[in-house]
């Protein structure tokens, strides 16, 4: 396994829409393992393949307090959603930035597991937010795009300043 570099907002590669995975093979399983290792090391609770510059519909999530409930979703799609909640979100691609985003309270997501079997997961609360956040990445959206234009500009400026300081 290896750690993967995480793209930083506003990198234009984060805007790419991920392609469906046609076959769950060894390369997809390796990608998922590397993504999980990268997510845990970062540390984060979710990571989409888009964030590591692989434009395939794969996400990994572990929203558990014990960090031992890894969920790998291939070709995830929201098939049902209802309610609304506002939660503070952050993102490994937007380090140090947190803001409130409105999302559905409850979602049902259909996906394939690492054996290529179709599954569904029903989620509320943090897991629901995380699923929606990571699926957004597969569609080329970063959570800050749910914020006002002014907030987006401030975030871009803040990240540019951070990049200059660390360069």
Q: Which of the residues are catalytic?
A: 134
Q: Does 133 belong to an annotated binding site?
A: yes
Here the tokens at position 82 are 């209802």
CA contacts within 13 A on the Cβ side of 69: 7
Q: Does 106 belong to an annotated binding site?
A: no
Here the tokens at position 115 are 């054996």
Could you give the dihedral angle defined by the CA atoms of residues 58, 92, 71 and 146, in that order, rounded to the nearest 10 degrees?
-80
Residue identified by tokens 């970063």 is 142
> Does the bond joining 43 to the residue before it have cis omega, within 30 degrees of 0?
yes
Residue numbers in the known binding site for Fe cation are: 91, 133, 137
């Amino acid at each position: 396994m290896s750690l993967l570099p995480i793209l930083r907002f506003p990198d234009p590669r984060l805007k790419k829409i991920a392609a469906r995975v046609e076959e769950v093979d060894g390369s997809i399983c390796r990608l998922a393992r590397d993504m999980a290792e990268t997510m845990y090391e970062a540390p984060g609770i979710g990571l989409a393949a888009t964030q590591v510059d692989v434009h395939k519909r794969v996400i990994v999530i572990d929203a558990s307090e014990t960090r031992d409930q890894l969920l790998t979703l291939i070709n995830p799609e929201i098939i049902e959603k209802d309610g609304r909640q506002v939660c503070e979100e952050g993102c490994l691609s937007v380090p140090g930035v947190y803001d409130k985003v409105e999302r559905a309270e409850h979602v049902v997501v259909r996906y394939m597991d690492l054996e290529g079997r179709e599954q569904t997961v029903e989620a509320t609360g943090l897991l629901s937010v995380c699923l929606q956040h990571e699926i957004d990445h597969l569609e080329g959206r970063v959570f800050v795009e749910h914020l006002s234009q002014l907030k987006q500009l401030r975030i871009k400026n803040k990240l540019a300043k951070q990049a200059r300081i660390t360069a």
